[in-house]
Amino acid sequence: MGFLKKLFGGSARDGRLPKAEADTQGVYFYVQCDRCGTPVRLRADKQYDLINEGTGYVWHKTIVDSRCFQRMPTVVYLNNAYEMVSQEITGGHYITQDEYEALLVAQRPVADQKTDEAAAGA
């Protein structure tokens, strides 16, 4: 299991994802599906995924979550510092990284949460 966490960027020790600031080539977004509540983490590559508009960047994406497979088309507008200025999304809403991580913990099976608590107490 630790291999998968390392492969997908999770920390094997505490289960928290690395902060987005550690990835200098990516911009991270966090979305929650309005239909099923599934949180989704997305990465846009600064060089290949963002469209330079001169005064900032635009990112077009159709997001599909892994539970109900609802399509969530979105457009994100960023300034030159890659900070979100505005966004449009249908079928979901944007959340913070902390909200995303809290939703992941809340959706994990109870047995996994007990294992983590036992490890933290040891």
- Domain ranges in the chain are 19-109
Q: In this predicted model, what pLDDT tens digit does every residue of 29-87 receive, in sequence order? A: 999 999 999 999 999 999 999 999 999 999 999 999 999 999 999 999 999 999 999 99
100, containing H or E segment:
helix 97-107
Residue count (the chain): 122
pTM: 0.72
Q: Which residues make Cβ contacts (< 8 Å) with residue 63, sequence separation at least 6? A: 31, 40, 42, 71, 72, 73, 74, 89, 92
Residue 12 has pLDDT above 80, yes or no: no
